[in-house]
Structure 1
């Protein structure tokens, strides 16, 4: 049953929490593809430290209600520009991107030039963790430092506010 659960969770995945080498899991945008997940990371894209160089990763997937339903190990395969897999998968990832600048072909070319990592995660043969064996702790952690932070400015006021005397 758990392999069917993993397959179904992967089919419906839009985001997955991925952990490499025991580091805290990161919520990453993913695209389901042929029973696995595809992750794009690198300059100008989402940050996934050490994922492209890893051999395996731990993937946490959520269900329809948003809660964790399965944890599985996955084999990591980095796709390189110019290969058949890159040529097939990269345009599909570009087509799924929302708010991306340029055409799909321009995005794929930019990813290749910038050295972005296109990674395929395939479920490993190990048994996944599913209910009732899922961890009971929330796994919440304080926010990590990120270059994506925006300095908060004072609120805009259309008219000058007079001080009361």
Structure 2
């Protein structure tokens, strides 16, 4: 269990951050949206249209490293060790976590049946602080972004400057 001052730092920073970076036993470190509920960070992932968590190795009983960034500046605030627990669909803890997660899920394609879809296709994970706050590294730890079709950059069309000038005139 974490000491009270560390627990307060973890809770306050994680509550205010929109994203946390989670490094599981396997795979890359990945930015995940979350909610802080009942003393732990909760994430939903897997399934169609949700954030990918399968390659992180986050299974019941595993540990993960969570890095919290500042919401306004984007810099690293705190790093902590988490005990991973997968909440079983339909359980009281699952229902309470999903009620909180629903409110933070942006642009859900099926908002009216999101709970049903999450129960069938997704995993709800509870990341409970289990160790002391880690020391911040001296270096930047910058890494190359993971491959994604969303990061493809194409050249600007040659006709675009002419079209923009025409619009002003």
Among 120, 124, 136, the residue aligned to 1:118: 124
8 Å CA contact retained: 2:84, 2:126: yes
Q: For structure 2, which runs of at least 5 residues remain unmatched after alignment?
A: 164-169
C-alpha distance in 1 between matches for 2:29 and 2:138: 16
| Alignment correspondent of 1:45 | 50
How many corresponding residue pairs? 155
Q: CA RMSD in A?
A: 2.7
C-alpha distance in 1 between matches for 2:156 and 2:77: 42
Deviation track 1:88-131 (CA, whole Å, cap 9, x = no partner) reads 2213212221111233x5011112222x111011100x2112xx
Q: How does 1:62-81 map to 2 (within 5 A)?
A: 62-63=69-70, 65-81=73-89
TM-score norm. by structure 1 comes to 0.79
Q: For structure 1, which runs of at least 5 residues remain unmatched after alignment?
A: none
Among 6, 9, 14, the residue aligned to 1:10: 14
C-alpha distance in 1 between matches for 2:158 and 2:123: 40
Query: Comparing both structures, which one devotes a greater share of its residues to helix?
Result: 2
TM-score norm. by structure 2 comes to 0.78
